[in-house]
Amino acid sequence: MDHFLYKDGVLHAEDVAVSDIAAQVGTPFYVYSTATLTRHFKLFDEALTGMDHLVCFAMKSNSNLAVLRLMCELGAGVDVVSIGEYLKAKAAGFPGERIVFSGVGKTREEMRIALEGGIRQFNVESEPELEALNEVAVSLGMKAPIALRVNPDVDAKTHAKIATGKSENKFGIPIASCREVYRRAGEMPGIEVIGIDVHIGSQLTQLEPFELAFTKIAELTDTLRADGHEIRRLDLGGGLGIPYERSNTAPPLPVEYGHLVRRTLGHLDCEIEIEPGRLISGNAGILVSSVIYLKHGEGRDFLILDAAMNDLVRPSMYDAYHDIIPVVEPVVGAEQGPMDIVGPVCETGDTFAKARNMPGLGEGDLVAFRSAGAYGAVMASEYNSRPLIPEVLVKGDQFAVIRKRPSFDEMINRDTIPAWL
């Protein structure tokens, strides 16, 4: 469920008409709903009630400072994957003890900053990383709290580019060899072993792969405890998918995921940590764009928008489907016939949808891409020298620009020309 609905014939974000935001901010722009973000965080939080737990928002899905502040105020933790994300989380108000640091390539410098600034745990993904973290912690006279990210060799049954839990993926330590790595970690003076971490992929639409992975983690917890390790926290990663296509069967709900966690891991008396990104922010955001032209091609029509692949790369990168709807509610029978919906960037890959039926749209009309709150703005670039687009946050009947559109001068003046040219 989200808070983008037609009211009086116009798409609203909560109680604000999307057309009013467009008039003030100009298109294209992203808009997020406070109510949807809050609701989705709470669904996870409530799904884990009865278990000691922390929902750590995967900020890679949406790292706007205002969104992070909202999550922080709701009591969330945060999952970061770079020191940039760590510093952003800190700037948004997260205390170190609510920040989890994941990622395969943490540098020594990143480790030092996080240790000095405070950290809940590092999710360590390899032996060389473990050695490096131990060295950095020892040099600071500290102990780094860690979970080892285990690769359970489970097929997440999702898009290949976002599956992470198979043995051929770059992520984690193979489950078969992790006992030995835990043994080494247990002997390191700068390391404090506190748990196990697993994340098998993103946009999972079935619970079965989670079940396979969590069952393996339960067995591993027993084994490691028998080996003498104090395993007290299990980080289960993120990955629960969202319904992008309304006609498809909807993925499982957080409450069902919560039941699964309880059933597979509840008996271990561990603190449960999860790192959802998409399910919290995905359906909490839309991308609003204007039609520039309706172009009649040979045997094909093109709806050319002012948003492009640099603003929302998911369709060209993963062939991802996004619902695209008119901001003014269409009248029944206004179907225009199939058309390709494209952006102005000079690549054929700059295509949002092929042969999509759209209702009577023409120049200047507004459209909204649904489910664009996750992996939308964060993956944007300035390709074709198109400045990053604004982000807006709505709460009830108020809205605020939470990232302004840079001027062309700001974009141009970031570069410098050497004196010798």
In the complex, least distance from residue 374 CB atom to ligand LLP, rounded to whole angstroms: 6
Residue 67: exposure state from Cβ atoms within 10 A (0-12, 13-18, ≥19): buried
Give yes or no for residue 314 binding ligand LLP (CB under 6 A).
yes
Q: Assess whether 346 carries a catalytic annotation.
A: yes
Measure CA 387 to chain center. Answer: 22
Residue 257 marked as a ligand binder: no
Q: Where are the alpha helices (DSSP H) in 178-270?
A: 178-187, 208-226, 254-265
Residues between 364 and 383 with contacts to ligand LLP, criterion CB under 6 A: 374-375
Burial of 400 (0-12, 13-18, 19+ CB in 10 A): exposed
Peptide bond into 338 cis (omega under 30): no
Span interacting with ligand LLP, options 43-51, 56-64, 109-117, 341-349, rule CB under 6 A: 56-64
Q: Which of residues 208-237 bind ligand LLP (CB under 6 A)?
A: 237
Q: Report whether 318 belongs to an annotated binding site.
A: yes
The DSSP call for residue 163 is: B
Considering only CA atoms, which of 63, 54, 67 is closest in space to residue 86? 63
Q: Which of 277, 326, 343, 373 binds ligand LLP (CB under 6 A)?
A: 277
- Taken in order 187, 81, 151, 46, is the CA torsion positive or negative? positive
Options 77, 152, 239, 252; binder of ligand LLP; rule CB under 6 A: 239
Residue 233 assigned ligand-binding role: no
Smallest gap from Cβ 282 to ligand LLP, in A, equals: 8
Q: Is 276 annotated as a binding residue?
A: yes
Q: Please list, residue by residue across 167-197, b when 16 or more beta carbons sit within 10 angstroms of its beta carbon and e when fewer do.
A: eebebbbebeebeebbeebeebebbbbbbbb
Q: Which helix (H) or strand (E) holds 234?
A: strand 233-235
What lies within 8 Å, CB to CB, of 31 at 6+ separation is 13, 18, 21, 285, 286, 288, 391, 392, 393, 394, 399
Check residue 276 for interaction with ligand LLP (CB under 6 A): yes
**8-state DSSP, 240:** B
User: Interface with ligand LLP includes 203 (CB under 6 A)?
Assistant: yes
Binding to ligand LLP in span 316-345, by CB under 6 A: 318
79: contact with ligand LLP by CB under 6 A:
yes
How far apart are the C-alpha atoms of 343 and 345, rounded to whole Å?
6
Q: SS3 for 30?
A: strand
277 annotated to bind ligand: yes
According to the annotation, is 275 in a ligand binding site?
A: yes
239 is in an annotated binding site: yes
- Nearest distance in Å: CB 156, ligand LLP: 10
Q: Select the span of 34-42, 217-225, 273-281, 291-299 touching ligand LLP (CB under 6 A).
A: 273-281
Residue 58 binds ligand LLP (CB under 6 A):
yes
Kindly state the smallest distance separating residue 202's Cβ from ligand LLP, in Å. Answer: 3
Residue 47: CB atoms within 10 Å: 23
Given 38, 202, 264, 283, the residue binding ligand LLP (CB under 6 A): 202
The interface region with ligand LLP, picked from 11-19, 271-279, 284-292, 300-308 by CB under 6 A, is 271-279
Question: Binding site for substrate, residues?
Answer: 278, 314, 318, 347, 375
Question: Binding site for pyridoxal 5'-phosphate, residues?
Answer: 239, 275-278, 375
**Contact positions toward ligand LLP, by CB under 6 A?**
58, 60-61, 79, 102, 162, 199, 202-203, 237-239, 275-279, 314, 318, 374-375
Catalytic residues: 346
